[in-house]
Amino acid sequence: KGPETLYAGQKLNDNEWHTVRVVRRGKSLKLTVDDDVAEGTMVGDHTRLEFHNIETGIMTEKRYISVIPSSFIGHLQSLMFNGLLYIDLCKNGDIDYCELKARFGLRNIIADPVTFKTKSSYLSLATLQAYTSMHLFFQFKTTSADGFILFNSGDGSDFIAVELVKGYIHYVFDLGNGPNVIKGNSDRPLNDNQWHNVVITRDNSNTHSLKVDTRVVTQVINGAKNLDLKGDLYIAGLAQGMYSNVPKLVASRDGFQGCLASVDLNGRLPDLINDALHRSGQIERGCEAEALHKAVICSEGTVDYGASIGTIELISAVCIDLVDYGASTIELISAVCIDPPARG
């Protein structure tokens, strides 16, 4: 008779653990997500289900669903199906067939990172769909204190912008009531070459929240509730001629230089490069630490160790970490610099 669908749970993309249980007895179905329960009944005369393969994280069977959901990005544990713990069976080699493309262990996930190598690099995507509500997530890593991260204009005065200003995230928007800005309350500037998580939400009650790592700022906006966006969604910057026309309260006059990853646009997980409608400047997949640092030319030379003179050989043009060798301090990137000779 076709697929049946049950829905349970809300705001599950909060990077916290959630428990899901699915129970079927004959035609009766019960879905429990944490404490939220949904029940249903299968139509038709058949009560027997036959399974051939179990897939986690991705759906390859396309016959019974019109829109294939984005693949899962996150952590999964204790997957039990009819009494069998399939993840454990796969990990221990106790199952006849298991195709594994995930990794075991709990780690910070950096999905599909992209590097914008200059402040003039940017790309554009299809319009952000956020008319009545919104949930945005992304990760960033940079050494630059300022720059556009996201911008979409709209009907009338409507717009949304996310930017880095003096090392802090600003969320700027206008739903028709005039521009507002919500500033992240991080305890220190975020241009520290570490990954940071940003979540921006807006619900049906017009409550806006900006969460940067573990710090949250919330604001309720009165008046118009809908965000009517049009045109391209710009990522990491704007075309050069657009900066002179950015809305009030938007501070950036340049693009974002650094890495973006794990971009989630209201449940849409775009491939920033393949899905781009337009690209400009130097944009590359991955995130190399060297790309984020200002180039400091290093060359082969001598170092005064105090007791003796030694020679250090450098095989990189980019220097990062400070290493103190007594009388002299030299900037090195440890991964690509040959060890100095032993003292004495």
139 and 281, same domain (yes or no): yes
Whether residue 301 is found in the same domain as residue 282: no
Asked whether residue 30 is domain-assigned, the answer is no
Q: Are residues 313 and 341 in the same domain?
A: yes
Identify the segments of the chain with pLDDT beneath 50: 290-344
DSSP 89: H
pLDDT on residue 84: 84
Pick from 282, 284, 290: nearest CA to 255: 282
89-104, pLDDT tens digit by residue? 887 888 888 887 777 7
Q: What is the pLDDT of residue 271?
A: 94
Q: 195 and 256: one domain?
A: yes
How far, in Å, are 31, 138, 312, 322, 335 from residue 7 at the CA level? 8, 26, 63, 54, 49
Q: Within a domain: residue 69?
A: no
Buried b (16+ CB within 10 A) or exposed e, 136-148: bbbbbbbebebbb
Domain residues for the domain of 262 are 114-288
pLDDT of residue 64: 66
Q: State the CB neighbour count (10 A cutoff) for residue 234.
A: 22
Cα torsion for 199, 15, 19, 134, to the nearest 10°?
10
In a domain, 27, yes or no: no
Domain presence at residue 205 = yes
Are 121 and 155 part of one and the same domain? Answer: yes
Do 222 and 303 fall within a single domain?
A: no
Instruction: Answer whether 223's CB lies under 8 Å from 158's CB.
Output: no
Task: Give the total number of structural domains in the chain.
Answer: 2
Residues 187 and 333 in one domain: no
0.85 surpassed by pTM = no
Answer yes or no: do 242 and 303 share one domain. Answer: no
Instruction: State pLDDT tens for residues 237-289.
Output: 999 889 988 998 999 999 999 999 999 998 889 999 999 999 999 999 999 75
Shared domain for 204 and 307, answered yes or no, is no
**Final residue in a domain of this structure, among 288, 304, 328:** 288
Q: What is the pLDDT of residue 284?
A: 95
Q: Of 270, 288, 306, at which residue does a domain stop? A: 288
Same domain, 248 and 146: yes
Q: Is residue 301 part of a domain?
A: yes
Decide if 102 is inside a domain.
Answer: no
Residue 50, in any domain of the structure: no
Are both 329 and 224 inside the same structural domain?
no
Q: Could you tell me if 224 and 328 lie in one domain?
A: no
3-state secondary structure 236-293: CCCCHHHHHHCCCCCCCCCECCEEEEEEEECCECCCCCCCCCEEECCEEECCCHHHHC
Give me the amino acid identity at 90. C
Residue 256 lies inside a defined structural domain of this protein = yes
Q: What is the CATH number of the domain that holds 218?
A: 2.60.120.200
Give the pLDDT confidence score for residue 134 in this predicted structure.
94
Looking at residue 312, its pLDDT comes to 44
Backbone torsions φ then ψ of 291, nearest 5 degrees? -70, -15
Domain stops at, among 272, 288, 304: 288
Round to whole Å and give the CA distance between 191 and 166: 8
